[in-house]
Structure 1
Amino acid sequence: MTSPKHRFSFARGLHDSAAALLGLALACAPAGPAFAQKRYDPGASDTEVRIGHIGPYSGPASAYATIGKAASAYIAKVNAEGGVHGRRIVLLSVDDGYNPAKTVEQARKLVEHDEVLALFAPLGTAQNLAIQRYMNAKKVPQLFVGTGATRFGDAKAFPWTMGWQPTYQDEARIYARHILATRPQARVAVLLQNDDFGRDYLKGFVDALGDRAAAMVVAQASYEVSDATIDSQLIALKASGADVFFNIATPKFAAQAIRKAAETGWRPVQYLASVSIFVQAVLQPAGLDNATGVISASFIRDPDDATLQGTRELADYRAFMRQYYPQGEPGDFLNVLGYSQAQTLVQTIRQAGDELTRENLMRQAANLSMTLPMLYPGIEVKTGPDDYRPIQQVQLVRFNGTRYEALGQPVGK
């Protein structure tokens, strides 16, 4: 595990980077920024843009730590190629141990002491909830948060907070519709984390089942992030006689649930929340044989997908990993996630031009229309002044024992 605080500012001299950055294959609709007058808020200057990031480099969700490392590596790449409009991006990435109280402490330090222009991709539902009112009171962008909780796309109530990934409720609705279409008589057992993250998924799932929910959901069990294991919950869920299992858990507990189900001889059809889709962090610890057949949803393409081999998008991503994050696993979805989130941030800064104020950065975040090379074809990053949900489609996928395979075409909420 790396040190909980990293300062990434890998400037290698300023030079024209336009050609290199075009190679990202980011198709951006908004017109180029105006450079008539430079305007700066804290965190921006002629030479740099300071951005804060908070993630779980320690604690029960430390499997997600590699997201921050991949994002930081991508920022290092951008800086090595000249930065954005001649400015390097300084990404201050700090550890909160997946503890909301620590998230508050770190956010205050980044905003008030380090004077960052914005926070980028802080991870976790409870963690972002703990700082949302503070960030909005301070009028500091809380951009592209690392959670799909529905409340982080409310442009009117919280104009300084923006999501990035599809919402948990929308994702859960897609699973529910798939179950209704393929197993209308299913008996469903649900495991959920006992917080806003788990309840958000459950609400979307039950809402989509509609008047069938009471008959179809035959058992629920919850766990706390401080729990050592979830063995007792899985035993109780198996005893319900359910033949479908909806696993709403973060990586550590999702892996435990898949393994325990197999150990007890329970073989339901399994739906896995996308927050734990990852092969290296979840399915391998669970046992690949145990995970075979698991259905999940993704908007990010699997680097091992046969249909992606030989493409420019994959070649660029793998070259980036080799040069800037060689200790990372290229096949890990989490690294693709950090890479893609960082590309979104860089485009937002680019659109802001020389008006690097917090207000303009937020305005540009709400004016995105772009594609990202490692998202499934047809899935866009698109926002508007009243649309703070950049990605609104997912691809249903099924794990075949080695990798995920797409089920049909991308679907929306």
Structure 2
Amino acid sequence: MSQHHTARRRAAALALAAVVALALTACSTPAAPGDDSSGPPPGVTDTTVTIGAHTPLTGPAAAGYASISAAASAYFAYLNAQGGVHGREIEYIVKDDGYNPATTQTVVRELVQEDEVFAIVNGLGTPTHTAVLDYLNQNEVPDLFVASGSTNWNQPDKYPFTYGFNADYVVEGAALAQYAADTAPGKKVCLLGQDDDFGDELIEGAELALGADGLTHVERYSVSNQDVTAQIGALKAAGCEINLLATINGFTALAIGTAAQFGWFPQWFSSSSGADYPTLVGYLGEDVGPKLLQGFTGTNYLPALGGDDEWVSLFREINDEYNDGAPFDGNTIYGMSVAYLFAEALEAAGEDPTRQSLLDAVASGDLAGNGILPLSFSSDTHAAYLGVGISQVDQGVQDYVGATYAIEGGDVVEVDATPVPLSGEGVPGS
């Protein structure tokens, strides 16, 4: 797929989202933009800061992602028990959008206009968040740490209130393809991807590493159709040996399971958005999941589930105490990591935070996060991570293999990981 076609698809999707958002704004009473200098900003009292998120608690993406907001809530409960941030507890309102963009528009409007949240934090999904991107920026609501690797979030001039969290899909596609080229030269590399920016940008990254004709075959799917038999059959017929996946967890499992039914067992290389091992085993079943996932390769930029990192140990303790003993997986680490980053930004925003001071804190470049690479936020860059590590499953343990890639000057290069150490028991400012 050409970069021209990719850009054209992205422009069309954003244009449609803008039209819908403008219509939504026109038919409702807009929230007061920015901060009111005569009083505290929306969502801030002497004792609380209220933030909100949209996420799929039901629908096709729920099983893969509902645990993220639960983990973030658990971290905030832990943080509040330590005194919160500058003496304020964080109240986190999570609303279900079912991974449906139309529902996302409704629940985000409720969060902004009825719940009067200080910020939207970690709204999940490429098609879903695209549908509210213009609305949030027009109403000057901080739109922080979007749970998607779309490059749409990294447009400071067009969307000054929006910052991403995930490593972007171009970076992930480039890293996966480069790792395939480095470790299995000559093998046929193919791609199965969601039919939106997720798939487009993973293709763009893969072609950056492999060249415009480097992918042997590409197949696309829609999340509204949970049957990829035709796509898997076409990949098999093309002789694919390594399949890159721009898939959410449910479709990663669906692809691997469908291939196994064909008696076909290629190598699978997945974006971090669909690479959580415990979640995939949950879909595939304890009997066959571990066998089908042996050697499964993914990307990551946060502490690894299978590692002995201090962050992971802390998050396990928080999960046990504040998350009703929920299963601990990569989504747990993700949810607590993004919650910690918001707490760090809020602490840096000062004792009397405003929406502008919160945005200034993120843009300052001083936030550390807890990733394996430094955060990239600045006034010019609204992307969090510009590189990723490669993870692999071995005997049921998912951990880094020691290869970390970034895009520098248009080239895919291997870089050294520099994990951020745990400090202050995971409580910013302590």
Whether the 8 Å contact between 2:268 and 2:296 is mirrored in structure 1 is yes
Match of 2:272 among 271, 274, 296: 274
* Partner residue in 2 for 1:55: 55
> CA 1:79/1:38 → structure 2, altered by over 3 Å: closer, same or farther?
farther
**Structure 2: distance between partners of 1:372 and 1:158:** 22
* Partner residue in 2 for 1:17: none
SS in structure 2 of the partner of residue 166 of structure 1: coil
**Structure 2: distance between partners of 1:396 and 1:132:** 30
* Partner residue in 2 for 1:299: 301
Instruction: Give me the identity figure in percent.
Output: 31
Is residue 119 of structure 2 the alignment partner of residue 123 of structure 1?
A: no
Higher relative CO (CA 8 A, sep ≥ 6), structure 1 or 2? 1
Whether the 8 Å contact between 1:51 and 1:92 is mirrored in structure 2 is yes
Q: CA deviation at 1:295?
A: 1.3
* Partner residue in 1 for 2:326: 328
**Structure 2: distance between partners of 1:207 and 1:410:** 16
* Partner residue in 1 for 2:215: 217
**Structure 2: distance between partners of 1:49 and 1:225:** 35
Q: CA deviation at 1:179?
A: 2.4
SS in structure 1 of the partner of residue 226 of structure 2: coil
Whether the 8 Å contact between 1:84 and 1:346 is mirrored in structure 2 is yes
TM-score normalised by L of structure 2: 0.81
* Partner residue in 1 for 2:233: 235
Is residue 331 of structure 2 the alignment partner of residue 337 of structure 1?
A: no
> CA 1:409/1:240 → structure 2, altered by over 3 Å: closer, same or farther?
closer
> CA 1:158/1:222 → structure 2, altered by over 3 Å: closer, same or farther?
same
* Partner residue in 2 for 1:411: 405
* Partner residue in 2 for 1:383: 377
AA matched with 2:178: R
Mapping of 1:5-404 within 5 angstroms? Answer: 40-62=40-62, 63-210=64-211, 213-214=212-213, 216-286=214-284, 287-305=289-307, 308=308, 312-330=310-328, 332-373=329-370, 375-376=371-372, 379-404=373-398
Q: CA deviation at 1:385?
A: 1.1
Q: CA deviation at 1:365?
A: 1.6
Whether the 8 Å contact between 1:39 and 1:357 is mirrored in structure 2 is no
TM-score normalised by L of structure 1: 0.84
**Structure 1: distance between partners of 2:355 and 2:145:** 14
Any gaps of 5 or more consecutive residues in structure 2? 1-36, 408-430
**Structure 1: distance between partners of 2:138 and 2:80:** 31
SS in structure 2 of the partner of residue 395 of structure 1: strand
**Structure 2: distance between partners of 1:278 and 1:312:** 20
**Structure 2: distance between partners of 1:189 and 1:392:** 23
Whether the 8 Å contact between 1:82 and 1:88 is mirrored in structure 2 is yes
> CA 1:174/1:135 → structure 2, altered by over 3 Å: closer, same or farther?
same
Whether the 8 Å contact between 2:190 and 2:218 is mirrored in structure 1 is yes
Q: CA deviation at 1:249?
A: 0.9
**Structure 1: distance between partners of 2:220 and 2:310:** 43
Whether the 8 Å contact between 2:194 and 2:246 is mirrored in structure 1 is yes
Whether the 8 Å contact between 1:165 and 1:392 is mirrored in structure 2 is no
**Structure 2: distance between partners of 1:193 and 1:233:** 11
Whether the 8 Å contact between 1:38 and 1:355 is mirrored in structure 2 is no
Q: CA deviation at 1:266?
A: 1.8
Report the aligned-residue RMSD.
1.8
SS in structure 2 of the partner of residue 218 of structure 1: coil
**Structure 2: distance between partners of 1:118 and 1:318:** 27
Q: CA deviation at 1:382?
A: 4.1
Whether the 8 Å contact between 1:229 and 1:253 is mirrored in structure 2 is no
Q: Which whole-Å deviations, capped at 9, do the CAs of 1:22-43 have from their partners, x for residues lacking one?
A: xxxxxxxxxxxxxxx9962111
What is the aligned residue count?
366
Any gaps of 5 or more consecutive residues in structure 1? 1-36
